[in-house]
Amino acid sequence: MFEALHHGVLGRALKNGLLQVRWWDVRDYADNKHRTIDDKPYGGGPGMVMMAKPLREAIRHIQAQRDKPNWVVYLSPQGTLLKQPGVVRLKEKLSTHNLVLLCGRYEGIDERLIMSMVDEECSIGDYVLSGGEFAAMVVIDAVARLLPGVLGDSTSAEADSFSSANKGLLEYPQYTRPEEDEGMRVPEVLLSGNHEAILRWRNRMALERTLKKRPDLLNSAQLSAEEKEILAELTGDENE
């Protein structure tokens, strides 16, 4: 499944050794010849539950192979919702730990394994998947693009203070050639060459879009006095 990571910027980063992704099959840690790793839920109900023991053996084996301590992240809909600051935190964890992304299948994992071996339970959104691998790939992609050298120098400019994302806002709209497409023109200011006006326009658009599409983000956005003023103007509140 993790073949998908070998494309695009991540593929290049893996090839250049900027990050390493390895995987372990829990079935290799089953204690019977049928490689069974699941069993019926106590108390009844549909489906199967992953047994604690093979997962515990797997995590211990991973730890024994490695220099840094494990930081075990269980991907599940019961986890804390992952947002960009959480992604940054996971990236920073990498300096002292190896991230072990525990991917469940079936109807879940025996709670005792989660209690004893999992450092953090993490959700990428309020929906149910068929397995944690899809969520793990999202986490890997989001973390990897923050690592030095993974994005080109020009795109890693996300780190700069003009980035809307870093203020907790949505990004401004983007345009490329041609100047006119199906009767719709690129906003004049972007053709003006006036860099200060362009910055102002983009900043304003970021605020406007956030207000329209994701007003919830404004509660925790890091805004300057000027940005607060623009926002007050946009909301029609002259007193703020």
Per CB under 6 A, contacts with ligand 9WO among 35-64 are: 46-47
Asked if 107 is an active-site residue, the reply is yes
- If one asks whether residue 125 binds ligand 9WO (CB under 6 A), the answer comes out as yes
Our CB check for ligand 9WO shows the closer of 84 and 155 to be 84
∠ CA 39-44-47, nearest 5°, is 50
Candidate residues 52, 129, 218, 223; the one interacting with ligand 9WO per rule CB under 6 A: 129
Positions in 62-91 near ligand 9WO (CB under 6 A): 75-77
Is 185 annotated in the active site?
Answer: no
- In the residue annotation, 77 being an active-site residue is answered as yes
Comparing every residue's Cβ against ligand 9WO, the nearest one is 104
Nearer to ligand 9WO, 69 or 131 (CB): 131
Catalytic entry in 12, 41, 57, 77: 77
Identity of the residue, 48 or 186, whose beta carbon is nearer to ligand 9WO in the bound complex: 48
* Min CB(86)–ligand 9WO separation in Å: 12
Identify whether 120 is a catalytic site residue.
Answer: no
- Residues with catalytic roles: 77, 107, 145, 160
> Which residues of this chain interact with ligand 9WO, rule CB under 6 A?
46-47, 75-77, 104, 107-108, 123-125, 128-129, 131-132, 135
